[in-house]
Amino acid sequence: MAAQEHTSEPQILDRRTLARDHRRLARLLRPGMAVLDVGCGTGAITSGIARVVAPKGFALGIDRDPALLRLARERHGDVPGLRFEERDVFDLPVDAAFDIVTAARVLQWLEQPELAVQRMAAATRPGGRVVILDYAHDGLVWQPEPPPPVRRFYDGFLGWRRSKGWDNRIAERLPRLLNGAGLVDVASSVEDEVAVRGEPGFDDAMALWRLVMESVGPTIVKAGVLSEADLTSAVAVHRSWCKREARVQRMVMRAVDGRRAGPPP
């Protein structure tokens, strides 16, 4: 199993839903399907999958973070047809057992996304689909431009990610990755997360980066990319900027799915 390089913030994961935050997958799900959710986190989306494929289908959520899996079992352990396992994407079963294998916001944290997609394809039944959703962090747009301490933090975040070998434009590579894994009928869609002042969800969406600052920021400081003073200033300034000036936040995302060749069994 690959070493755990990143720990996601449960507050961010918990507020996600299948219908809002993994729309392409939601359109493909049908009752009776067997679905594997790679990097399931706290299980918020996975539980939604299980409810759609019920009563004869099932959903398996895997993650390499045992703390997140404990939360998943506590919060969603009573959902029929749902189970969670501690497992790495690079150690997936290769018995082609699933109608859909999916990963949302996961490949962005991997040094070998090509291998991950190959493993996902191998776990998919002939005729089944791999569905992936992820960010192009380099494409983030804020309007107006945030104050310098916030921009310094974000540039540091991108630099820290690059130093780990994580692709800040992974969303743009997704079609090539699926084609490279031998999948066919590959299609992509724009799934940008857009927050506009005055619209529902604006405050929560803008607070996401403050949560990242507070949870991942100390790791970035420890890596020497930012100073402690830079981080403290970014948190304080971001809060006031979001409250008074920020109007738009656009996080660039793409969803892509491809079919494993061959007729369904």
Q: Last residue of a domain, which of 134, 153, 183?
A: 134
User: Is 176 domain-assigned?
Assistant: no
Domain total in the chain = 2
User: Is 173 domain-assigned?
Assistant: no
Residues 38 and 127 in one domain: yes
State the CATH number of the domain containing residue 104.
3.40.50.150
pLDDT of res. 2: 43
User: Is 3 domain-assigned?
Assistant: no
Residues 230 and 120 in one domain: no
User: Is 182 domain-assigned?
Assistant: no
Q: Last residue of a domain, which of 91, 112, 134?
A: 134
Where does residue 80 rank: exposed (0-12), middle (13-18), buried (19+ CB within 10 A)?
A: exposed
pLDDT of res. 11: 85
Are the C-beta atoms of 253 and 191 separated by less than 8 Å? Answer: yes
Q: Per residue in 140-182, pLDDT tens?
A: 999 999 999 999 999 999 999 999 999 999 999 999 999 999 9
Per-residue pLDDT at 112 exceeds 80: yes
User: Is 230 domain-assigned?
Assistant: yes
Residues 111 and 153 in one domain: no
User: Is 184 domain-assigned?
Assistant: no
Per-residue DSSP letter, 165: T
pLDDT of res. 265: 60
- Residue bearing tokens 């992509």: 188
Q: Last residue of a domain, which of 92, 115, 134?
A: 134
Q: Per residue in 16-25, pLDDT tens?
A: 999 999 999 9
Residues 103 and 153 in one domain: no
> What percent of the chain is predicted at pLDDT more than 90?
91
Round the average pLDDT of the chain to a whole number and report it.
95
Residues 150 and 90 in one domain: no
Per-residue pLDDT at 5 exceeds 60: no
Q: Per residue in 203-235, pLDDT tens?
A: 999 999 999 999 999 999 999 999 999 999 999
User: Is 183 domain-assigned?
Assistant: no
Residues 118 and 220 in one domain: no
First and final C-alpha spacing in the chain: 30
Residues 149 and 74 in one domain: no
Confidence at 36, pLDDT banded by 50, 70, 90: very high
Closest CA to 59 of 47, 70, 69: 47
User: Is 220 domain-assigned?
Assistant: yes
Mean pLDDT for the stretch of residues 125-143: 97
Per-residue pLDDT at 95 exceeds 90: no
Are the C-beta atoms of 212 and 206 separated by less than 8 Å? Answer: no
pLDDT of res. 93: 75
Residues 40 and 122 in one domain: yes
Tokens (6 digits) for 259: 């079919």
Mean pLDDT for the stretch of residues 104-115: 97
Domain that holds residue 61: 8-134
Residues 12 and 126 in one domain: yes
Residues 123 and 96 in one domain: yes
Residues 112 and 141 in one domain: no
Residues 92 and 111 in one domain: yes
Q: Per residue in 40-93, pLDDT tens?
A: 999 999 999 999 999 999 999 999 999 999 999 999 999 999 999 999 999 987
